[in-house]
Chain A
Amino acid sequence: MKRLLQIIAFGLAGPAVAQVQGVELEEPVLMPDFAFSNELEETFTREDLNDSWTLIMFGFLSCPDICPFTLGNLEAAVAETGMRVRPDNMPKVVFISVDPERDASWVSDYAKFFHPQFESFTGERSQINTLVEATDSFYRLLDPDHTGYYEVQHSSAVSVIAPDGTLRAKLQPPFDPGLTAEFLARLQISYRKELIK
């Protein structure tokens, strides 16, 4: 709590807040073609990035701590963002499982648990690798133990994609809802300024 107060105090002091919850890329990165799906046969492709803001998180469903905590905080952050941006600028939240072998049969349920409009998908290894690389993210499946169980390492950051299909920023833990919303609102303002130029 004390630490949280310190972070908020920094936030009030000025633009340093932007460094706490997110980092804006110096140059936007255009996203390549990709295709993901889930067991409901819903799809998520490059075209779905057009005309809206999208937050993409990588993870896996056998993750009892980090992934649920991040999605829970993103839900709160998106709710906060709703008080700062127009409804058509509300970010979509997409969870991509990097563990299709274990997760493909029920992946759609996962993100919905945190918000009915959150979506989750997985896909072929090549598609996962394409999007992971394009967003400068990381994951690794570790060697299985004697029971066949394996751990998964992955990036903690969440990728922020603008309505022109370019990666613009990374959100970082702890994903404080208010500060993350503030960061997203500022990012959208600078994006619109850029469009006017």
Chain B
Amino acid sequence: MKHLLAALILTPTLGLADGIKIEQPIVPLAPPGSMVHAVFMKITNTGNMPRQLLGAVAEGYHTAHIHLSEEKDGIVSMTAVDVIEIVPGQTVALEHGSFHIMLMRPIGEQVEGDTVTLTLVFANGASETVDATVVKMIHGQS
């Protein structure tokens, strides 16, 4: 899997991810010293072919995985996900309690307002660069 991602990212003929719309990419500000950060966003397939998100590479982190947080019978767990399938017209929300891109082992400290640049990698060889903003989450004001 890792090799596949590396191969896709290094392919010079890489195109932009036509038909993919990214909205509200954010990285919640994590407690100081955190070795993991999350990226949330909405991904919409505006094209007419199903698309598969395979993973991401983030600048400033050693690795990034797609993860799914789930709660079942009062137990919360996280699992790595190999692919997120997005059919035409569908919006998949990477959000609290569902999917996120987990950024592991940050190289530097993160502060509010920072930008994290990541590259989403799709199964058709396309990639999409996303600038996610580090934001302090405000709770209880919905």
Which chain A residues have a beta carbon within 8 Å of chain B's beta carbons? 1, 4, 61-66, 68-69, 72-73, 75-77, 79-80, 102, 106, 109-110, 112-114, 138, 149, 151, 153-157, 172-173, 176-178
Contacts and interface: CB of A to CB of B under 8 A. Distances in A.
Given A113-B31, A154-B75, A173-B71, A73 B139 contact: yes
Contact of B75 (A65, A75, A151, A156): A156
Contact of A106 (B33, B74, B140, B141): B33
B90 interface: no
A62 B32 CA distance: 12
Contacts of A68: 28, 30-31, 137
B74 A155 contact: yes
Contacts of B79: 151
Interface residues of B, number: 30
Contacts of A106: 33
Nearest to A136: B74
Nearest to A120: B31
Given A63-B36, A153-B75, A155-B75, A110 B140 contact: no
Q: What is the interface of chain A mostly: helix, strand, loop, or mixed?
A: mixed
A61 B34 contact: yes
Interface stretch (B4-12, B44-52, B95-103, B115-123): B95-103
Contacts of B141: 76
Contact of A64 (B74, B97, B102): B102
A65 B97 contact: yes
A75 B32 CA distance: 17
Given A151-B78, A156-B75, A64 B34 contact: yes
Given A64-B34, A64-B38, A110-B31, A151 B100 contact: no
B8 to A, nearest CB: 20
